[in-house]
Structure 1
């Protein structure tokens, strides 16, 4: 498809209908009456843990460029993915982490393409997703990017790399935070209610019944005295003396009776479902995981069902930026490798079955090959 005709950079105001304006003014309100955006959502410990766990796990995986040989095996080769942001940009870990945080919170990740004098791709410069608006014209995506100077400049898909998350229109991803705004809004409202409960101290709410009739001014003075001596966290648990004959009927209840603890536990379960994280990784140790009993089995389940859908999406997009015959690939071996004893037993069985040579088995363990004479001797010993 030919490129659209060149259009000069433009400066425009944000439309009130633009979805990005929602984030700019604090996020969309939830049914709980709480506005939910990326920062308020990250204030929930479960959300922060999910985002940091997924982004950190994927950023810890080596991102490599591989080429497929004639015999079907793959071999690592050098490319700009070895330093994806360029020598003057962020580190490779930070680059992947930013990419994943953008996808997890905003549903989209954007990058400027940095090219050299021969138009070769040198790296991808991250763009904050809240600064980008997407339009589709003649079947091609155009990107309105708010620059540091406050102006909005238009770029084509030849200049910007766009990695969308789950999409409803095939062009842009949907923000998980906005889709889950009602669940997250309820969790935020619960946190705020618990904070107010403890902030107000022992007598967070009560009815005071005097034995004598009080004037309005006297009633106000009694209330202020009670607030001053019994309210607030500094007075919680203390003894208050008021020079009046008063009968105080407290309305305050302990958090467990108010089901705050149950509500917070339910909120953690909700967040774990939204992000696909087993509850036991969020501190819900009483919850069981269906990923398996052992640590290696749990890591395999976590990698397959939580991380791999994200990495496959990223690999497919980055592969399009590489020369033909090469592809981007995350290396999961460090995450899903079995325990050392089981791994060694497996390698011994594979060498005895002729599936691996001793040199190949040693390479898997990151050990140097033996001299040729010892290699031949060990190969003869391991043959059945």
Structure 2
């Protein structure tokens, strides 16, 4: 078993590297935005969780195609790795979620591929973020430099690394969505920090007390103590009693306050654009109606998730299957898990699929984890059409 390629020991000046990284991530809002710090901004965290956990919950299976026949390759060792345990300490859900999150934040994600003597994959282990750099050789093939915790570096080639790469403008290098959208994210983080500072310091009072004439220091202290004791914190909301003609003038939201709130809402929309997630799925419901709610969910599947699912399946095909297996085997996600919460919709779809000859009763029952029934493997078609396989004589 060959875990790593040739090794090389190298030391780095991390202080200088950190300064370069901070400078590269500085934004116009004056906030340094990195993939890790961006997760502290709630809309970014929500978008990353939504995409990565949605991809992770969808089952991916290995299929074998022999001419026109297609069957699930349950006896292939890669099927077990993809659906159960890619390595002894990581579940399939965790690996897909972690690698997809790294892909969203960094533009690429890596996992170590361990093969047996016959070249079959026996283990897939996600590599720590930031530990892999990709080098492009003269023939444009990738080469992976992995930095270990000991400081040693290892060189790995294609077939030894599962490399998920997002949108990019250079060979073998993906663009970080967070880095490309750092100015919009930084402005949103600046607005959040400003709002938090206002709340922490109490810079905006709820109202103003107006008194006729001048007050002595003793009277001023008595009024302030009475307001704090009778109407501050958990005591707020009680009946207000004032003395000596004092008037209470509540402060209301002005146009500046409204614009500040609109800016915060607009930055959530910016995050929606960066990650291509429907705004309603980031809990911004101002434009959601009963008429478009269902279409927004379909948009999330077709426009947001499907590109990542396609990337996963093609990467599995390239990096995990042996060359002689690529003619017969391929990976495919089952998106029906997104519809599991809608029982009525699933049942209606099964009835139409069975009645139209698209699915047998046993196949529909299998999707619901129910045992097959006698005669359930026969395709059925409407009475006014021919039976599948040819017309009856």
TM-score range, shorter chain: 0.7 to 0.9
Instruction: Check conservation: 2:7, 2:155, Cα contact below 8 A.
Output: no
Deviation at 1:31, TM superposition (A): 0.8
* 2:88 equivalent in structure 1: 88
| Residue in structure 2 matched with residue 345 of structure 1 by the alignment | 351
Structure 1: tracts of 5 or more residues without a match: 1-5, 205-210, 213-221, 239-249
Following superposition of structure 1 onto structure 2, how do residues 224-373 of structure 1 map, counting pairs within 5 Å?
254=253, 257-259=256-258, 260-288=260-288, 293=292, 295=294, 297-320=295-318, 321-322=320-321, 323-324=325-326, 325-336=328-339, 339-351=345-357, 355-360=358-363, 362-363=365-366, 366-372=369-375
Q: Report the counterpart of residue 188 of structure 1 in structure 2.
A: 189
Deviation at 1:258, TM superposition (A): 2.4
Counterpart in the other structure of 1:9: 8
Q: CA deviation at 1:160?
A: 2.2
Q: Does 1:36 align with 2:33?
A: yes
State the Cα distance separating 1:285 from its structure 2 match: 1.5
CA contact (8 A) 2:108 2:164 kept: yes
- Find the aligned partners of 2:161 and 2:381 in 1 and give their Cα distance: 56
How far apart, CA to CA, are the structure 2 residues paired with 1:29 and 1:379? 63
Give the CA deviation at 1:257.
3.7
In structure 2, the CA distance between the partners of 1:274 and 1:331, relative to structure 1 (3 Å rule), is same
SS at match of 2:149: coil
Specify the alignment match of 2:165 in structure 1.
164
Matches within 5 A, 1:59-98: 59-77=56-74, 78-84=76-82, 86-98=86-98
Give 2:137's aligned residue. 137
Higher relative contact order (CA 8 A, sep 6+): 2
Distance 2:47 2:191 in 1: 19
Report how far residue 200 of structure 1 moved.
Answer: 1.6
Partner-residue secondary structure (3-state), 2:61: strand
The offset of 1:287, in angstroms, is 1.7
Deviation for aligned residue 1:267: 1.2
1:255–1:261 CA contact under 8 A, matched in 2: no
Unmatched runs of 5 consecutive residues or more in structure 2? 206-212, 215-219, 238-249, 386-393
Q: Secondary structure at the match of 2:90?
A: coil
**CA separation of 1:203/1:102 partners in 2, compared to 1, >3 Å: closer, same or farther?**
closer
Residues 375 and 67 of structure 1: is their aligned pair in 2 closer, same or farther, counting only changes over 3 Å? closer
Secondary structure at the residue paired with 1:189? helix
The SS at the match of 1:56 is helix
Give how far 1:191 is off.
Answer: 0.3
Q: TM-score, normalised by structure 2?
A: 0.74
Distance in 2 of aligned mates of 1:26 and 1:256: 36
Greater alpha carbon shift after TM alignment, 74-83 vs 168-177: 74-83
- Does structure 2 retain, via aligned residues, the 8 Å contact 1:59–1:97? yes
Residues paired across the two proteins, number: 351
1:171-201 deviation per Cα after TM superposition (whole angstroms, max 9, x unaligned): 1101100000000000000000111111121
